[in-house]
């Protein structure tokens, strides 16, 4: 884990509690080092025992979240921005077509070209990709857990009222 991710790990375990407090009750996603603090807090949270299902592919996580929504849950899907490419088909053929109001918490790898080249390739156009799909985007900074929590609450309100996925694009510390 790099120094920036280690600092974010120290600051973000509170996000797990905030996610449950915001009303999310089914959480899935593909782990990312910038979300390490959130994931550690989630793994230790007593409510996560039957409400957190880590995934290996972002498209599978979108499908799991859609199924959870149809079963009455309020889903949150987390991923890094590179995962957007992996889940485009699940978003377009499932979540958008069937108007599934799920929230994507996206760790913005490659934000402003400040990452390794393969992260920058998807990080740069990530907002435009989401916009092209018709998915509203709220931005925040992982270094500010209160801001992340507020955006997750706002995204859930928007997703519910519009009945479409909403993304919370979280810039890493130092971005």
Where are the domains positioned within the chain? 3-171
Separation CA 69–CA 40 (nearest Å): 24
CA 111, distance to chain mean position in Å, is 15
Structure tokens at 140: 């925040």
Q: Band of the pLDDT at 1, cuts 50, 70, 90?
A: very low
The CA distances from residue 129 to 80, 140, 151, in Å, are 14, 17, 19
Instruction: Please state whether 28 falls in left (phi above 0), alpha (psi between -120 and 50) or beta.
Output: beta
The CA distances from residue 118 to 22, 42, 115, 121, 126, in Å, are 33, 28, 8, 5, 13
Q: What is the mean pLDDT of the chain?
A: 87
- Helix segments in 72-111, DSSP class H: 83-90
Asked if residue 109 has pLDDT above 80, the reply is: no
Write down the pLDDT at residue 57. Answer: 97
Structure tokens at 164: 């479409």
Q: Is 0.85 surpassed by the pTM of this model?
A: yes
Separation CA 83–CA 20 (nearest Å): 23
Q: Band of the pLDDT at 9, cuts 50, 70, 90?
A: very low
- Superfamily name and number for 3-171: Thiamin diphosphate (ThDP)-binding fold, Pyr/PP domains (3.40.50.970)
Asked if residue 117 has pLDDT above 80, the reply is: no
Asked if residue 123 has pLDDT above 70, the reply is: no
């Amino acid at each position: 884990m790099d120094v920036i991710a280690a600092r974010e790990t120290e600051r973000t375990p509170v996000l797990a509690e905030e996610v449950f407090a915001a009303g999310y009750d089914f959480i899935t996603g593909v782990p990312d080092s910038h979300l390490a603090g959130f994931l550690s807090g989630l793994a230790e949270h007593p409510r996560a025992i039957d409400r957190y299902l880590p995934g290996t592919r972002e498209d599978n996580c979108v499908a799991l979240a859609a199924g959870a929504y149809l079963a009455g849950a309020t889903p949150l899907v987390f991923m890094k921005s590179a995962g957007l490419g992996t889940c485009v088909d699940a978003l377009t053929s499932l979540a958008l077509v069937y108007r599934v109001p799920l929230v994507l918490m996206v760790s913005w790898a490659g934000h402003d070209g400040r990452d390794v080249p393969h992260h920058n390739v998807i990080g740069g156009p990530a907002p435009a990709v989401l916009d092209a799909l018709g998915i509203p985007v709220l931005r925040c900074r992982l270094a500010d857990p209160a801001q992340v929590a507020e955006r997750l609450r706002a995204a859930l309100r928007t997703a519910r009222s519009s009945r479409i996925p909403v993304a919370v694009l979280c810039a890493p510390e130092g971005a």
